[in-house]
Amino acid sequence: MTDLIEQPPLTLAEQARAALGRRNLVMIGLMGAGKSAIGRLTAQALGIPFIDTDHEIERVSRMTISELFAAYGEEEFRALEARVIKRILRSGPRVVSTGGGAYINERTRRHIRRGGLTVWLNAELDVLWERVSKRDTRPLLRTENPRQTLENLMQARYPVYAEADLAVMSRDVKKDVIVDEVLAAVAASTPKTGQERP
């Protein structure tokens, strides 16, 4: 009776990978929430590719995000972002990190919902401010009172982020802890009917 050998239990990453199926795992949240860092580590754990939409936008436009904002304004930037994200989500599975404003744009949000499972990396103001105040690369924070601007963005965007499929608290702990919480949330999720790409 050798065919009754017990299989070892699936690891958390294997459970998450099975739950994800062919869908993309899309990281959403405000600047400084850790979408790129956590997204990259989550992709490694799942054994699937990682893509950062901001980097992809910069690659196709041959301009930085700040340059795009300065040259074309936020509305034009969001239109470009929507097109790039729609293209990225056509194939999967992969972990996709999006810019903080991507999910707020209704058109982009439709593409994201159609193309993947969303994880909101939720973070408190103090955590975000501590992270973003170290670098002057955020076009939306080039204001007289950047901390207040960040708080205003939170108030405007958090109700929309709350529509995500999953939410994980981003805080000052080791990145591996957050990655494990993302994997656990994905593993516990069930595929939404009609959400698979055709």
Asked whether residue 31 carries a pLDDT value surpassing 70, the answer given is yes
Look over the chain and give the mean of its residue pLDDT values, rounded to a whole number. 89
Please tell me the predicted confidence (pLDDT) of residue 92: 86
| Three-state secondary structure string covering the chain | CHHHCCCCCCCHHHHHHHHHCCCEEEEECCCCCCHHHHHHHHHHHHCCCEEEHHHHHHHHHCCCHHHHHHHHHHHHHHHHHHHHHHHHCCCCCCEEECCCCHHHCHHHHHHHHHHEEEEEEECCHHHHHHHHCCCCCCHHHCCCCHHHHHHHHHHHHHHHHCCCCEEEECCCCCHHHHHHHHHHHHHHCCCCCCCCCC
Please tell me the predicted confidence (pLDDT) of residue 2: 52
Please tell me the predicted confidence (pLDDT) of residue 136: 66
Please tell me the predicted confidence (pLDDT) of residue 191: 58
Residue-wise pLDDT for 137-156, tens only, equals 676 677 788 889 899 999 99
Residue-wise pLDDT for 3-16, tens only, equals 567 777 889 999 99
Band (198; pLDDT cuts 50, 70, 90): very low
Task: Map out the domains of the chain with their CATH numbers.
Answer: 19-185 (3.40.50.300)
Residue-wise pLDDT for 77-104, tens only, equals 989 999 999 999 998 899 999 999 999 9
Please tell me the predicted confidence (pLDDT) of residue 119: 97
Average pLDDT over residues 7-26: 91
Please tell me the predicted confidence (pLDDT) of residue 3: 58
